[in-house]
Amino acid sequence: MSTMQDAHTPDGEQAAPADGRAEAGSSGLQHAAMPYRGADELAAGVARFVQGAAGAGGAVLVAAAAANLRFLRQRLHAADGQVAWADISAAGLNPARLTALLRQFAAARPGQRLWCVHEPAWPARSAEEMREVGRHEALLNLALAGARVSILCPYDTRLGGAVIACAEQTHPAVLRGPRREPSSSFIAGAIPAECDLPLHPPPADAEMLEYRDELAGVRRFAAQRARLAGLAPDRVADLVSAVSELAANTLSHATGLGTLSMWVTGGEVICQVEDTGQITDVLAGTARRDPVASGGGRGLWVVHQVCDLAQIRSGPMGTTIRVHMRLDC
């Protein structure tokens, strides 16, 4: 496993009811996975959570993929006026955007305990997206450390045993029916190893550009190849913006050349930027920074907002960032 610094999660957690009674007395983050089998089990678990939230007070957000969102609104219609609803398959297509979604929900309700149903994984996600879901779930324990937030993360068991095992590694607690139990495989401050593997090299037919000291050529290269691939004009602009931010980070924080690779596969335009710099803040790009504040992260924030997926791997040997743009969006 890859270990993060300063992650905070509750420890010494005992089996407890799966409703709000488990969280009502806690002042910090509560983060639990809920494997479920079928729609009825999903609805029952979410209903218990929402009912517990109503009894304890605070604001409730239910963020799920579109089909489950419609189903849950029908089943929980009595609580509809107490709940904010979000289609996570739109807001969280790039899993890294979900941290900002939860932070924004919290910032709009200062002083309240928040209750969030947060379903980041669904069957249509790609393998690459699922790996980033695992990273996102691990980083939430750091990003929301100490926050007065209770998060319930449903996981459809049809996603497979590997996905459920990863969820248990990234959540301090697991809900099994009406019981809440500490996760035996959770390690505080760790990203599951399978979610932190190096990215595979670009394919042999990828086009490459090396750059050292200017961005105009990088933007032209990205724009021309994105247009040839059939990316819509507004999406070309978004991709060029993302690539420009990444290349600017190379010029500001790395030595030597940067390399941009581009290729098309599986209905996506993919761009990869590599350089010798290292990103030491594992949460870089997950929160919107004040434009006048010192420090980095603003460029990565832009990348996460405009791209359908962003994969970041960084260490002492350098940084590789791969961004995906779907041709059919």
- Higher pLDDT, residue 297 or 127: 127
Per the domain annotation, does 202 fall within a domain? no
Confidence of residue 98 (pLDDT cuts 50, 70, 90): very high
Looking at the structure, tell me whether residues 117 and 266 fall in a common domain: no
Span 80-103, average pLDDT: 89
Final residue in a domain of this structure, among 173, 195, 217 = 195
Final residue in a domain of this structure, among 195, 229, 254 = 195
Containing domain of residue 315, as a range?
Answer: 207-326
Q: What is the mean pLDDT of the chain?
A: 89
Looking at the structure, tell me whether residues 110 and 174 fall in a common domain: yes
Span 231-238, average pLDDT: 97
Per the domain annotation, does 201 fall within a domain? no
Report the CATH number that the domain containing residue 290 is assigned in CATH: 3.30.565.10
Write out the H or E segment, with its range, that includes residue 107.
helix 97-107
Span 243-254, average pLDDT: 94
Per the domain annotation, does 317 fall within a domain? yes
Reduce the DSSP state of residue 262 to 3 states and report it: strand
Q: What is the model's pTM?
A: 0.88
Contacts of residue 131, defined as CB under 8 A and 6 or more positions apart, other chains included, come to 194, 195, 197, 311
Final residue in a domain of this structure, among 134, 160, 195 = 195
Q: In what order do the strands lie in the sheet with 173-176?
A: 16-17, 179-182, 173-176, 30-36, 149-156, 114-118, 59-64, 83-87
pLDDT in tens, 128-153: 999 999 999 999 999 999 889 999 99
Q: How many domains does the chain have?
A: 2
Looking at the structure, tell me whether residues 91 and 214 fall in a common domain: no
pLDDT at site 11: 36
Q: Which range, of 220-234, 253-267, 280-294, averages the lowest pLDDT?
A: 280-294
pLDDT at site 269: 98
Confidence of residue 21 (pLDDT cuts 50, 70, 90): very low
Amino acid at 127: A
Looking at the structure, tell me whether residues 163 and 25 fall in a common domain: yes
pLDDT at site 234: 97
Cβ atoms of 49 and 115 closer than 8 Å: yes
Per the domain annotation, does 93 fall within a domain? yes
Confidence of residue 13 (pLDDT cuts 50, 70, 90): very low
Per the domain annotation, does 275 fall within a domain? yes
Looking at the structure, tell me whether residues 12 and 75 fall in a common domain: yes
Report the CATH number that the domain containing residue 15 is assigned in CATH: 3.40.50
Q: Provide, rounded to the nearest whole percent, the portion of the chain with pLDDT above 70.
A: 89
Contacts of residue 100, defined as CB under 8 A and 6 or more positions apart, other chains included, come to 286, 287, 288, 304
pLDDT at site 290: 65
Span 306-326, average pLDDT: 96
Looking at the structure, tell me whether residues 90 and 163 fall in a common domain: yes
Strands, E, within the chain: which ranges? 2-3, 16-17, 30-36, 59-64, 83-87, 114-118, 149-156, 173-176, 179-182, 190-191, 207-211, 258-265, 268-275, 309-315, 318-326
Looking at the structure, tell me whether residues 25 and 170 fall in a common domain: yes
Inform me whether the pLDDT recorded for 219 exceeds 70. yes
Looking at the structure, tell me whether residues 98 and 180 fall in a common domain: yes
- Higher pLDDT, residue 66 or 296: 66
Per the domain annotation, does 164 fall within a domain? yes
Looking at the structure, tell me whether residues 156 and 297 fall in a common domain: no
pLDDT in tens, 145-178: 988 999 999 999 999 999 999 999 999 999 998 8
Query: Can you say whether residue 206 is alpha, beta or left, with left for phi > 0 and alpha for psi between -120 and 50 degrees?
Result: beta
Among the listed residues 122, 113, 114, the one whose alpha carbon sits nearest the alpha carbon of residue 91 = 122
Looking at the structure, tell me whether residues 298 and 250 fall in a common domain: yes
DSSP 273: E
Looking at the structure, tell me whether residues 55 and 136 fall in a common domain: yes
Question: Exposed e or buried b for every residue in 259-269, given b needs 16+ CB within 10 A?
Answer: bbbbbbeeebb
Per the domain annotation, does 39 fall within a domain? yes
Looking at the structure, tell me whether residues 125 and 224 fall in a common domain: no
pLDDT at site 146: 85
Q: Provide, rounded to the nearest whole percent, the portion of the chain with pLDDT above 90.
A: 71
